Amino acid sequence: MSDAPTVAIRVLHGPNLNLLGTREESIYGALTLAAIDARLAALAGELGVAVTASQHNGEGALVDAIQGCGGGAFAGILINPAAYTHTSVAIRDALLAVAVPAVEVHLSNVYAREAFRHHSTIADVVVGRLMGFGPDSYLLGLRALVGHLARGG
């Protein structure tokens, strides 16, 4: 019998997150996306799950990645749609279509920023939302998603 994780989680990063560590450090911090992914992988190991992470600047690519989570491919989705949070009906529809539990995360507290960032097109179709804790938002989101799945979510 294998000790390999059986629960697969998809981590999806939206546009411009590939620039973390160099863009607006006062808002997004100095950690790179690779460093965040490494922290997620380490935590996943502790939690006994597997994570597969990718970053997509295009809305269609994010939709394709979400669609690839269906059919039992992944048990859950941890998603930071970034700017598409506020505008993308396509991402919302993809999340509804695959019916995979998802948690929305953001590095910054969107409610402490510009008013247009206060709206999320996916807020009512995700299990929960975590924001404002910098890279820890991702870690807290992963813990919450794994807990939700463990409870049969």
In this prediction, residues 110-119 reach a mean pLDDT of 70
* pLDDT > 70 in the chain, percent: 88
Residues identified as active-site: 28, 106
Q: Where do the domains of the chain lie, and which CATH numbers do they carry?
A: 7-116+123-150 (3.40.50.9100)
Contact of 77 with 101, CB cutoff 8 Å = yes
* pLDDT tens column, 64-92: 999 999 999 999 999 999 999 988 999 99
In this prediction, residues 12-31 reach a mean pLDDT of 80
Residue 29 has pLDDT above 90, yes or no: no
pLDDT for the residue 117: 66
Q: Label residues 125-142 b or e (16+ Cβ within 10 Å = b).
A: bbbebbbebbbebbbbbb
| Nearest residue to 139 (alpha-carbon basis) of 130, 148, 128, 126 | 130
Secondary element (H or E) of residue 90? helix 89-98
pLDDT for the residue 81: 96
> How long is the chain?
153
Residue 1 has pLDDT above 50, yes or no: no
Two tokens, residue 21: 């560590």
* Sheet hosting strand 76-80, strand order edge to edge: 49-55, 7-13, 76-80, 102-106, 128-131
